[in-house]
Chains A and B, each alone.
Chain A
Amino acid sequence: MANKVRVATTSLAGCFGCHMSFLDLDERLVALAEHVEFDRSPITDIEHASNCDIGLIEGGVCNSENVHTLREFRKNCKILVAVGACAINGGLPAMRNFIPLEECLSEAYLDGIGVENPQIPSDIELPLLLDKVRPIHEVVKIDYYLPGCPPSADVFWKFLTDLLEGREPELDYGLVHYD
């Protein structure tokens, strides 16, 4: 069991949809678990990634914590993978890029319908928002990209089995969708 491939996963500015799609591997997860063990991931609750072979990153970068997490993954993963539309181009969260941050916060916490006790959250525990949501390849080097919103379970399967069996990962036409 010592030779299992260590995989870490995280969701930055994402919706966990890519993680849910990964879980759509269903019974194939059992086969995968024979070769793979999970490090930091929502599946394990391990807090920090260390000495991993593969890091799967869902979501883009929208705040300071995302940047730290992404850099930790890069430092600790031999292969870093951008998973899904948001990691690749910012995706849905990046649609706030066209509205000044102050306006976004005002709408959500001051002026929005139904807001009680209006105030912009400023607790020191909260990560600072970036002025724009960015794709992860703008922050660290990314080795592979799995497009899709989300990428299907078949995409995860093809990619991981290619890697595990020592092949250069390739996605054929039916597996590449941006939507």
Chain B
Amino acid sequence: MTKTITLDGKTIPFTDGQTIMQAATAAGEYIPHLCHHPEFTPHGSCKLCTVKVNGRNCSACTFPAAEGQDVINNSQELTDDRKKITQMLFVEGNHFCPSCEKTGNCQLQAVAYYLNMLDDHFPLFYPHREMDASHPDVLIDHNRCIFCTLCVRASREQDGKDVFGIVGRGINKNLAVNSASGKLKDTDLDKNDKAAHICPTGAILIKRTGYQVPIGQRIYDHHEINEVTLLSENHHGE
């Protein structure tokens, strides 16, 4: 017999070992997320996928689905929490969308659109962050890093390398690269690596490709992230 959970009052099936996120995605239900990607080990750090499971807040990307769970995903309370989390991500970095070449294709921006986030609410930190343009093909703009660790996981789990890591804590947290010089050019990162293409924001960019699609004609200019995500993540053949 098929095992099921209840998601916003709807009965959806799951198989043993699936997380709530995996079951929801397979059932065509979007749970907002930034650090989760179906190809990589879940990290559970961005907290955008927080859902209420039997009355307790859990990260849907790490929490295993279990028979009879009552899961709430779409509620005003969770939307408000997610909006606050997204606003914190914006003020803790330097996200100037009008001058960012990822605008319109950026998942951070798209999640904010999805949550109808119109302001930053909090005071802005304007942290001082560097850029690393040393690599011939790939650029790191630390201003836009949200520490989702997708590049870290992609490099280790799929590229078989170990190019990225997160160092430091709090406002001094930083995306580090694995080379003696600390420069990207001295790592073994290649522009065709998964890690060079996985960044949900404009922190890791392929050089000389930024404006191939004009602003205004990009993915999230016309499609909400829920439909884009469900479409792409259900084609990963999990």
Contacts of B118 in A (CB 8 A): 88, 144-147, 171, 176
Check A88 against B120 for contact (C-beta < 8 Å).
Answer: yes
> How far is it, in angstroms, between the C-alpha of A144 and the C-alpha of B120 when the chains are bound?
12
Check A94 against B119 for contact (C-beta < 8 Å).
Answer: no
> How far is it, in angstroms, between the C-alpha of A142 and the C-alpha of B126 when the chains are bound?
20
Q: Which residue of A94, A138, A176 has the most chain B CB atoms within 10 A of its CB atom?
A: A176
> How far is it, in angstroms, between the C-alpha of A178 and the C-alpha of B104 when the chains are bound?
9
> How far is it, in angstroms, between the C-alpha of A91 and the C-alpha of B126 when the chains are bound?
11
> How far is it, in angstroms, between the C-alpha of A88 and the C-alpha of B98 when the chains are bound?
12
Check A89 against B120 for contact (C-beta < 8 Å).
Answer: yes
> How far is it, in angstroms, between the C-alpha of A179 and the C-alpha of B106 when the chains are bound?
11
> How far is it, in angstroms, between the C-alpha of A34 and the C-alpha of B91 when the chains are bound?
40
Check B221 against A89 for contact (C-beta < 8 Å).
Answer: no
Check B119 against A137 for contact (C-beta < 8 Å).
Answer: yes
Nearest CB on A from B137, distance (A): 25
Could you tell me the dominant secondary structure of chain B's interface residues? loop
Nearest CB on B from A133, distance (A): 9
Contacts of B167 in A (CB 8 A): none
> How far is it, in angstroms, between the C-alpha of A118 and the C-alpha of B109 when the chains are bound?
42
Tier of interface size on chain A? 20 to 34
Answer yes or no: B237 CB below 8 A from chain A CBs: no
Contacts A176-B113, A178-B112; A135 near B120 (Cβ below 8 A): yes
Contacts of A171 in B (CB 8 A): 116, 118
Nearest CB on A from B91, distance (A): 8
Residues of B in contact, count (CB < 8 Å): 25
Nearest CB on B from A62, distance (A): 13
> How far is it, in angstroms, between the C-alpha of A51 and the C-alpha of B119 when the chains are bound?
26
Check A92 against B119 for contact (C-beta < 8 Å).
Answer: no
> How far is it, in angstroms, between the C-alpha of A104 and the C-alpha of B119 when the chains are bound?
28
> How far is it, in angstroms, between the C-alpha of A105 and the C-alpha of B126 when the chains are bound?
20
Q: Which residue of A98, A135, A177, A179 has the most chain B CB atoms within 10 A of its CB atom?
A: A179
Check A97 against B120 for contact (C-beta < 8 Å).
Answer: no
Chain B residue, CB-CB nearest to A88: B119
Q: B98's contact among A142, A144, A145, A178, by CB below 8 Å, is which?
A: A178
Contacts A91-B96, A94-B96; A179 near B119 (Cβ below 8 A): no
Contacts of B85 in A (CB 8 A): none
> How far is it, in angstroms, between the C-alpha of A140 and the C-alpha of B124 when the chains are bound?
15
Check B96 against A177 for contact (C-beta < 8 Å).
Answer: no
Nearest CB on A from B149, distance (A): 24
Residues of chain B having any CB pair with chain A under 8 Å: 90, 94-100, 103-104, 109, 112-113, 116, 118-121, 123-124, 126, 128, 215, 221, 224
Residues of chain A having any CB pair with chain B under 8 Å: 82, 85, 88-92, 94-95, 97-98, 132, 134-135, 137-138, 142, 144-147, 149, 171, 173, 176-179
